[in-house]
Structure 1
Amino acid sequence: MSRTILGLIAGLLSAGALAQTPLADHHQHGFSGPILALINAGADGPPAISGADIVRHLDDAGIMRATVLSTAYMFGKPGRAVENELAKVRAENDWTIAQAAQFPDRLVAFCGIAPQKDYALEEIARCAANKHVRGIKLHLGNSDIQLENPEHAARLAQVFAAANRHHLAIVVHMRASFSKKRPYGAEQARAFIEKVLPAAPDVVVQVAHMAGTGPGYDDPPSQAVMSVLADAVARGDSRTKNLWFDVASNATDVTPEQAAQLVRHIRQVGTKRILYGSDAATSSNKPPREAWAAFRKLPLTDAEFATIAGNVAPYLR
């Protein structure tokens, strides 16, 4: 889609004509059969979620474009024995790329990378050579990256630097592992800003789920991380100049208190840095239309909703 068309639509949004509909869903997933089998421990799972499925959901919501995030990093989860792991990672990333390539005016692909793996930098370079790939997706909880660990932070910085060299945006699920009860709070947020973020000064870094997990916004450690990140943005820390935040599934089933906290963080960051996302139309998440309707229930103003609906990350322009 041309910048002219996007500019025209953004103008309509600013005039209020399309204020109820986001231009883009910045956090979607396709799921292949092998990934679903992995998630379901080898059992028969639901059918794959393809690019065509995502586009149908976008059409239903009146949304023009989406970022499709590969979950190939799941094959690299520590402690998970996967035969021919690298081949499976590449196959999953290639499947996601192929789904996006079927709808080049609607979808862009991000490769899933397990940053602790020896093949991570090679896979970033391989993905970067494909014109349909605009970025990488990292899941620090799934990969058991502990930001307070200097070795982990240094390795993550190498991955950020590789993405920056290849002009790839980064979507990072920061929330530390629940299953292993890893620490997650202000210390980890400061380590991210000080040790990792400077390695990618030229590309978009999109913090998924407002530093949490979704659905909802009820995790105090995630809120503590978001507070540190928001403070850095609000005081003009130069390391956060390309830092964006997506709200994928954060407004689902929130209490009034959680909604108020989410709105405080949105306003502290500034609505111009907030990207709409729905996560994926699975049993635990709402599809884009319903997810936007849930987000619209937050105590934001019409002008704030219009700004967020009109935001398009640079990698989608």
Structure 2
Amino acid sequence: MPSLLHRLRLACALPLAFAAGIAIAAQPAADHHQHLFSPGIIALINAGPTGPQPISADDLVGYLDTAGIRRAAVMSVAYMYGRPSRVIEDEYGKVKAENDWTAAQVAKYPERLRAFCGFNPLKDYALAELERCAAHPQLRYGIKMHFGNSDVQLEKAEHIAKLKEIFRAANRHRMAIAVHLRASISQKRPYGEAQARAFLEQLMPLAADIPVQVAHFAGAGPGYEDPPANEVMRVFAEAAAKHDPNTRQLYFDVASIATPSITPEHAREMVQRIRQVGVGKVLFGSDAATPTNMRPREAWAAFAALPLTKEEIERVAGNLAPYLR
């Protein structure tokens, strides 16, 4: 559960942001990073009474309404079944079922929600699931990959080879890509400049026709206290500043990164990176409504409290990813 200090800081941040007129005058056009949790997923992670609980489309729309947000991208968490440390009976069957459950939920609000198909890109069934989702009326818009959960290691040639197949197929089907790029923290996988350059130079050229959204500002969240993630963002930001063509379709969501407890130093770092990559490439997102994460309204208040200009905040609020247009 959130600490008492976190709750107190949040309680202070919300009225300050609203008093400044920021959160009211410039509500985000969309939340670009949301999740739903099926009963099956909650059973899989064995969350317990104090952990994450099922989240339906009805729940999510309620959170969006409270924040004054009209639309959201819903990233299927079917990739959780493919976590390498898990042994799952009929794993691919469960992945398909989770993606289909997410699609059915989103179909209740077709004008507001758009679903992304989820899977572990290293699995033998990954391309088959991408093809299946590409033909699905609710899942054809994009795919979500979680490199940390799937233990993707960008320094490994065999992993890059698998990812190249996924990127080519996604581009062929004009499916956007959303990727939790942060390498596994629990496994202490390397993450920094080498991984950023591998992603930028080996994978992005294969996605020339689709948006690629790097989640959590290349980190994991909550918070921006992750030096390796800031190093990855430095590589992306410098490439963007030089108008590297591999950054043309690259976007960055800020889900759960700006928090009420962010230090002034980390807030300045985050603002610096936002300005380097360009505010037009920054997408608001808030992540799943778990006990340790903020709801969309709270997340926007925390973001609006960063030392950005009013014009910059309004620009981010108005940004809408191509897959939602």
Whether 2:103 is the aligned partner of 1:97: answer: yes
| Partner residue, 1:315 | 323
| Partner residue, 2:15 | none
Structure 2 unmatched runs, 5+: 1-21
What SS is found at the alignment partner of 2:149? Answer: coil
**Aligned positions, number:** 302
Which of 123, 126, 133 is the aligned partner of 2:129? 123
Could you tell me the TM-score, scaled by structure 1's length? 0.92
Q: For residues 128 and 50 of structure 2, what CA distance do their matches in structure 1 show? A: 32
1:238-317 aligned at under 5 Å gives the runs 238-252=245-259, 253-317=261-325
Query: Structure 1 262/115 Cα, relative in aligned 2: closer, same or farther at 3 Å?
Result: same
* Preserved contact between residue 50 and residue 291 of structure 2 (Cα < 8 Å): no
Residue by residue over 1:124-181, the C-alpha shift from the partner in whole angstroms, topping out at 9 and shown as x without a partner, is 1111112222100000111111101111112111111111111100000000001110
Q: Report how far residue 222 of structure 1 moved.
A: 0.6
| Partner residue, 2:213 | 206
Matched letter for residue 232 of structure 1: A
C-alpha RMSD of matched pairs (Å)? 1.6
* Preserved contact between residue 23 and residue 300 of structure 2 (Cα < 8 Å): no
Matched letter for residue 101 of structure 2: W
Higher relative contact order (CA 8 A, sep 6+): 2
Q: For residues 302 and 285 of structure 1, what CA distance do their matches in structure 2 show? A: 25
| Partner residue, 2:152 | 145
Matched letter for residue 302 of structure 2: A
Q: Report how far residue 198 of structure 1 moved.
A: 1.2
* Preserved contact between residue 28 and residue 67 of structure 1 (Cα < 8 Å): yes
Which of 231, 234, 250 is the aligned partner of 1:227? 234
Q: Report how far residue 311 of structure 1 moved.
A: 0.2
Q: Report how far residue 44 of structure 1 moved.
A: 9.5
* Preserved contact between residue 19 and residue 309 of structure 1 (Cα < 8 Å): no
* Preserved contact between residue 271 and residue 307 of structure 2 (Cα < 8 Å): yes
Q: Report how far residue 34 of structure 1 moved.
A: 0.9
Matched letter for residue 92 of structure 1: E
| Partner residue, 2:17 | none
Residue by residue over 1:88-137, the C-alpha shift from the partner in whole angstroms, topping out at 9 and shown as x without a partner, is 00000001111110000000000111000010011011111122221000
Q: For residues 285 and 23 of structure 1, what CA distance do their matches in structure 2 show? A: 21
What SS is found at the alignment partner of 2:117? Answer: strand
Query: Structure 1 162/278 Cα, relative in aligned 2: closer, same or farther at 3 Å?
Result: same
Q: For residues 190 and 280 of structure 2, what CA distance do their matches in structure 1 show? A: 30
What SS is found at the alignment partner of 1:171? Answer: strand
Percent identity between matched residues is 60
| Partner residue, 1:72 | 78
Residue by residue over 1:30-63, the C-alpha shift from the partner in whole angstroms, topping out at 9 and shown as x without a partner, is 0101111112268896541001111001110000
* Preserved contact between residue 73 and residue 113 of structure 1 (Cα < 8 Å): yes
| Partner residue, 2:187 | 180
Matched letter for residue 122 of structure 2: Q
Residue by residue over 1:189-243, the C-alpha shift from the partner in whole angstroms, topping out at 9 and shown as x without a partner, is 0111111111111100000001001111000001000100111111111111110
Query: Structure 1 17/208 Cα, relative in aligned 2: closer, same or farther at 3 Å?
Result: closer
Query: Structure 1 312/18 Cα, relative in aligned 2: closer, same or farther at 3 Å?
Result: farther
Q: Report how far residue 20 of structure 1 moved.
A: 2.3
What SS is found at the alignment partner of 1:141? Answer: helix
Q: For residues 28 and 91 of structure 1, what CA distance do their matches in structure 2 show? A: 19
Matched letter for residue 170 of structure 2: A
| Partner residue, 1:193 | 200
Could you tell me the TM-score, scaled by structure 2's length? 0.90
Structure 1 unmatched runs, 5+: 1-15
What SS is found at the alignment partner of 1:279? Answer: coil
Query: Structure 1 129/18 Cα, relative in aligned 2: closer, same or farther at 3 Å?
Result: farther
